Amino acid sequence: GLVNTREMFKKAIEGKYAIAAFNFNNMEQMQAIIQATVETKSPVILQVSSGARKYANQTLLRYMAQGAVEYAKELGCAHPQIVLHLDHGDSFELCKSCIDMGFSSVMIDGSHLPYEENIALTKKVVDYAHQFDVTVEGELGVLAGIEDDVKAEHHTYTEPDQVVDFVSRTGVDSLAISIGTSHGANKFTPEQCTRDANGVLVPPPLRFDILQEIEKRIPGFPIVLHGSSSVPQDLVAVINKYGGALKDAIGIPEEQLRKAAESAVCKINIDSDGRLAMTAAVREVLATKPAEFDPRKYLGPARESLKKLYEHKLINVLGSAGKV
Ligand code: G3H
Ligand code: 13P
Ligand code: NA
Ligand code: ZN
């Protein structure tokens, strides 16, 4: 069945790689994730956001994830390592509902709360979750942009001096941190970037100095990076070529994520890149084959493009291929 993150994270830290956490809210995304993880022999975290629950129904998503385990076996993986995780849980009740329904991992995101309230809420979720061997991700620090319907103008980087206290008092199994990533496809403004010799925009580097300080305080403890899409410019170009209007779409360069994956960062969240891959493929089919009206004719290519993207991440960025 589904597994929690405990063993997976332990191995990832020891092996200096990271596990992909891909968001899903429909069948094609789930199929692409499972196909890519089976073909590359990767462990994977299927994650469900609040928006995904509203869009697709929590019960359906939960049983799709259970189906995903059987699907992975059917595709030839004898012992699938698949986690079903709640992304950005914002209340005890929501986390409890997911735990009671069979999710194997949850995030309680109290990062916007005053510190002591974040601790109290996170501990309450941990105490409940651990009775059922469900693992819990907490968060310290605030990402710039939109997170949990809360909009922040600037990053509030994680304070290394708080992590020992937070981790020991809450009992969380992993910690999401803020070191310069953010959600969505516009992670930096062009003004924040410099240009390389070819005129390509280069975003400011992540705060690896803060990550190192955090690792010093809690050696071997699993760290999570949200907002880790790279926003591939070839996908942005296809979208804009076929009628899209994405402006200043900039992500985290892959070499920085590769470097992060070698550290105690053992979960890397990617959603936006998958959205770009699907949208590019659907736009291209609808624009170049205007007589098509069978959804399979555009969702099929979208699924194929997603699968390629995921395989690339697993093999070349996270380094989790061959670990199952
Ligand atoms: O944390 C953000 C994820 O990309 C999920 O986004 O809330 O639009 O489903 P969503
Ligand atoms: P991206 O928007 O960079 O894909 O981040 C996704 C995420 O952090 C989901 O929790
Ligand atoms: Na790692
Ligand atoms: Zn996130």
Complex confidence, ipTM: 0.98
* Sign of the Cα pseudo-torsion (298, 302, 303, 304, in order): positive
Q: Which residues, 6 or more positions from 160, have their beta carbon under 8 angstroms from its beta carbon?
A: 210, 213, 214, 216, 217
> Which CATH architecture describes the domain 6-318?
Alpha-Beta Barrel (3.20)
Q: How far apart are CA 65 and CA 55, in angstroms?
A: 16
Tell me the best of 19, 23, 231, 235 to mutate to test the pocket of ligand 2, counting ligand atoms within 8 Å of each CB and taking the most: 23
Least Cα distance to 132 among 167, 96, 108 occurs for 96
Which residues contact ligand 2 via a Cβ below 6 A? 23, 87-88, 183-184, 226-229, 269-273
pLDDT of residue 176: 98
In the chain, which residues have pLDDT < 70? Answer: 148
pLDDT of residue 149: 73
pLDDT of residue 234: 98
- The answer to whether the beta carbons of residues 114 and 162 sit under 8 Å apart is no
- The answer to whether the beta carbons of residues 22 and 40 sit under 8 Å apart is no
pLDDT of residue 153: 85
Active site residues: 87
Q: How far apart are CA 244 and CA 300, in angstroms?
A: 20
pLDDT of residue 148: 67
Q: Determine which residue's CA is closest to atom 9 belonging to ligand 1.
A: 51
Q: Whole-prediction pTM value?
A: 0.98
Ligand 2 atom having least distance to the Cα of 251: 3
Q: What is the CA angle 27-29-35, rounded to 5? A: 100
Tell me the best of 178, 225, 269 to mutate to test the pocket of ligand 2, counting ligand atoms within 8 Å of each CB and taking the most: 269
CA of 188 to the centre of ligand 2 (A): 14
5 by DSSP, 3-state: which?
coil
Q: Which residues, 6 or more positions from 267, have their beta carbon under 8 angstroms from its beta carbon?
A: 5, 9, 12, 18, 19, 21, 45, 137, 174, 222, 223, 224, 225
Which residues contact ligand 1 via a Cβ below 6 A? 23, 49-52, 87-88, 183, 271
Ligand 1 atom having least distance to the Cα of 88: 1
Residue type, 183: H
* Domain boundaries of the chain, sorted by first residue: 6-318
- 139 forms bridges with which residues in the sheet? 176
pLDDT of residue 12: 98
